[in-house]
A and B are shown apart, each in its own frame.
Chain A
């Protein structure tokens, strides 16, 4: 019995790690290609023989081979630990993402709460990296990341509250099921829910969630912590070799993770109508990955379209616009829930 537990745990851990790595590599490749085509370039072309599909792998191998340079002024222990903290925080999100009714590493009753809590861990890693690097640019980058997290964690959480009110559960599986069984005025047939009901009812929440998750991921237009034209590379300035790769992977894995959470919360997750639960365990991942891909494309598209905001403008956007709108969204959702 106890052996069985450890075997299952091992398989689950390997799967989570595999999904995360593959997700990150594919989205890195997507970014390389999509950005190239947006900029009238070809992008990677040779690695792997066709379309340059192996470019992220080749980059990864190159980084592994590189010498890791640790400057004298660095607080070595914190410096070395930081990339793992970042990657760990991101990886932990994958544990609760439901790819099918039973295809989830851990179906927590407090899934949403867990995701929101654990996703902030990576910012601690960023702050550690910025502080321990002993570099002024890194320090400013780390502090910017911390300030950004504090500002955007609130709208992120508040945007999710609307969904939780409608679904009546904090479990991610529960939220998907609630969307599948959503009834418009008590009579709507199942097939209509292909159009995700929460996308319509929580459109404001969805927009806020996407904006705030862009900020959480510190991607353009919210990439102040890295801002290569101002802070050289922000908290990444002193990192090289494998540890830099960890940050790099963490960034893209985080993007996929938040896209997965967004599609689970707002776009109906893995669910398809007229498919039994057993079959859904096979089709579900495809459905979810399609939705993730759409959102990741959106993130990439935004990155290559927008310039970046200034630090004070970023804070104003969070505190003056997103948080009040998110609060209003909660009130309206709660009232509607009681009325209907």
Chain B
């Protein structure tokens, strides 16, 4: 034991102080498992993140916790049974999942769908889009930390779900499409007298009213969220996807349009009669989280526009084309893609002429949108993971299917 007198023994004191300073503190990288059980991974997504404090070095998404084997199941189900399956791919917009599949089967069979049925499909698809986007616009601020917009948006989403339920009998999983048309609506009349089967009474008027309320809540969200300084600080310039990167990774839907394109399958393909309505395709400029949020808010407004036009101009007529009792799809191959709320959804249907498909390949939007994640999350901060993850708006059922 030596005692140090700081005045007389300066050399020792200096040596000791230098020694204590030059001890290097090691901070090893930490592996942070975000999920599969985590409040903001929208289900069972798992992210294996290498973090240095709050900074992220790399992220590896692990998917497959919700794989249900729908593609394989579809090979041993009849066409009518498959609509019940595809409902559950993206459960937030169940109805929109059915459309491209049923259109694919109809194209192979060469069935002409009655006008009124097409309009009903279109209205319900747009309602599903609104309900999906309202979920996003309510849960995204929640992930950033604001809980109040959630309640206001979900309150109006309830109206939309009630409308869906009124027609189809199901809030999330309608299973409403039939090959050649739509199912007779619940409570619309006798099951045996085909001439009275139609939309429930008052549906069209209630839809108009609900659309007004949805537009109102969009304005509420504008004042509550869009203009909020902190919300902008958290999202503007965060998670930028340049257009070419987005295309390379197969990003689609509002996520891609936020990067500055107005490519929308509703304008470019004819799976539903969208060409008869006036609506805009909103496009962003920066491709950051804020733009992706804005895209969806604008798309709600455009969807309301479409629905109001469709409700005003819906033709009368039968709901169902003449199809055989036992549905057999002729041999052939078809790919139908559609603009779903989450992005581009496609069904590649191969039939060998039986009651069941030979192969059904499902292309889902969330899966491709999620693939950009490791590139996007590199060198960001932990709070940004949540902001970016939320802004991509994926559903785990849509990723794993």
* Chain A residues at the B interface, C-beta cutoff of 8 Å: 35, 38-41, 136, 140, 143, 220-221, 223-224, 227-230, 232, 304-313
Given known pairs A227-B383, A229-B39, A230-B382, the reply for A136 and B145 (CB within 8 Å) is: no
Kindly specify which of B17-25, B230-238, B254-262, B266-274 makes contact with the partner chain: B230-238
Q: Assuming A305-B224, A311-B381, what are 11 further A-B pairs, CB within 8 angstroms?
A: A39-B152, A40-B155, A229-B143, A229-B144, A230-B386, A304-B146, A306-B145, A306-B146, A307-B146, A308-B230, A313-B234
Given known pairs A230-B40, A230-B386, A309-B234, the reply for A136 and B30 (CB within 8 Å) is: yes
Given known pairs A40-B155, A221-B145, the reply for A311 and B39 (CB within 8 Å) is: no
Note all chain A residues with C-beta closer than 8 A to B152. Answer: 39-40
Say whether A220 contacts B145, CB under 8 Å.
Answer: yes
Give the distance in Å from the alpha carbon of A250 to the alpha carbon of B383 in the complex: 26
13 residue pairs from A and B, CB less than 8 Å apart? A35-B147, A35-B148, A39-B148, A220-B145, A221-B230, A227-B145, A229-B143, A229-B145, A230-B40, A306-B230, A307-B234, A308-B234, A313-B233
Give the distance in Å from the alpha carbon of A220 to the alpha carbon of B144 in the complex: 11
B39 nearest CB across to chain A (Å): 5
Given known pairs A228-B39, A229-B386, A230-B386, the reply for A309 and B151 (CB within 8 Å) is: no
Dominant secondary structure of chain B at its interface with chain A: helix
Question: Which one, B30, B39, B147, B233, contacts A310 given CB within 8 A?
Answer: B233
Is B322 interfacial (CB-CB < 8 Å)? Answer: no
A250 nearest CB across to chain B (Å): 21
**Closest residue of A by beta carbon distance from B232:** A307
Note all chain B residues with C-beta closer than 8 A to A221. Answer: 145, 230
Is B68 interfacial (CB-CB < 8 Å)? Answer: no
Give the distance in Å from the alpha carbon of A162 to the alpha carbon of B145 in the complex: 33
Say whether A307 contacts B383, CB under 8 Å.
Answer: no
Say whether A310 contacts B383, CB under 8 Å.
Answer: yes
Highest count of chain B CB atoms <10 Å: which of A38, A40, A223, A307: A307
Is B9 interfacial (CB-CB < 8 Å)? Answer: no
Give the distance in Å from the alpha carbon of A223 to the alpha carbon of B383 in the complex: 12
Give the distance in Å from the alpha carbon of A293 to the alpha carbon of B378 in the complex: 45
Which residues of chain B from 183 to 242 have any CB-CB distance to chain A below 8 Å in the complex?
Answer: 224, 228, 230-231, 233-234
Say whether B383 contacts A311, CB under 8 Å.
Answer: yes
A107 nearest CB across to chain B (Å): 40
Given known pairs A229-B386, A230-B40, the reply for A39 and B147 (CB within 8 Å) is: yes
Give the distance in Å from the alpha carbon of A229 to the alpha carbon of B35 in the complex: 12
Is B14 interfacial (CB-CB < 8 Å)? Answer: no
Give the distance in Å from the alpha carbon of A221 to the alpha carbon of B146 in the complex: 9
A215 nearest CB across to chain B (Å): 13
**Closest residue of A by beta carbon distance from B383:** A310
